[in-house]
Amino acid sequence: MTSDDIPDQKLPGAEEVSEAEGPARPHVLTRERLMSNSLDEMVRAAFGCRLLSPEERARSLQETLERRPSGPVWLFGYGSLIWNPTIHYMESRFARVEGWQRAFCLSTPVGRGTPEKPGLVLALDEGGACEGIAFRIAEDVLQQELSLIWRREMLTGAYIPHWLALHDAEGHVFGHGIAFTVNREGPQYADLEEAEVVHCLATASGQLGSAAEYLFQTHEGLRRLSIQDPLIDHLAKLVLAARNGS
């Protein structure tokens, strides 16, 4: 089945997730929650000893900063960072990265799923290109804000941070940004068929909300930036149809 096989339906946005789910809840992944370490506690229940220690996360951040290119530090958002960045930043702007594409290839037993029924979230996987948003972080709060991002994204080592060239709408490189790419060798990497992806997104839910809500909010966030992603458009239609019993 393709998205063309499904009758036109109103896709839910940030304020209306779906008729089955009702209005979207306020974001439960907040800056305050990250600073309190409560996210660590939630994830530890599912991952146990596989959770990176604070020392390991700090070392990962330091190694990333040691590879820093010249110029301002940007953070590239392609999924939930688009609609829930949680960080303080000086500037945000459209950005495109080459050689990496947005994909629902990261399985999660917590947050948007459970150990019994894992959810799926986005990562950057090899190939293609990806359009998103870049956040410029001020030097005087760089360590503080990136530490917060590492608490959010680098809990289990499922992502690998890379510095990627950021292209503007005309194709010119305006800087380099940290982007979280999937760890293909890690246990959370999920290379699934489309039907499996749709089923997971339509049915999984965890303490941060449903996988469908994550998809729909990303779809709406991209729409607000006037970014079209055929994969996200396609999956949003399929998941909405699955949730409505079509």
What number of CA atoms fall less than 13 Å from residue 73's CA on the CB side?
18
Q: What amino acid positions are annotated as catalytic residues?
A: 153
Phi and psi at residue 33, in whole multiples of 5°? -65, -40
Distance CA 56, CA 46 (A): 19
Q: Which two tokens stand for residue 97?
A: 């990265």
Show the tokens assigned to 15. 């304020």
Number of CB atoms found within 10 A of residue 144's CB: 13
Give how far Cα 236 sits from Cα of 67, 96, 154, 230, Å.
37, 22, 27, 10
208 residue type, one letter: L
From residue 243, how far is each of 79, 96, 191, 237, 238 by CA, in Å? 21, 32, 22, 10, 9
Q: In this structure, what token pair is assigned to residue 65? A: 């900063």
* DSSP letter assigned to residue 5: G
- 111 conformational bin, left if phi > 0, alpha if psi -120 to 50, beta if neither: left
Tokens 């941070």 sit on residue? 161
- Identify the DSSP state of 30: -
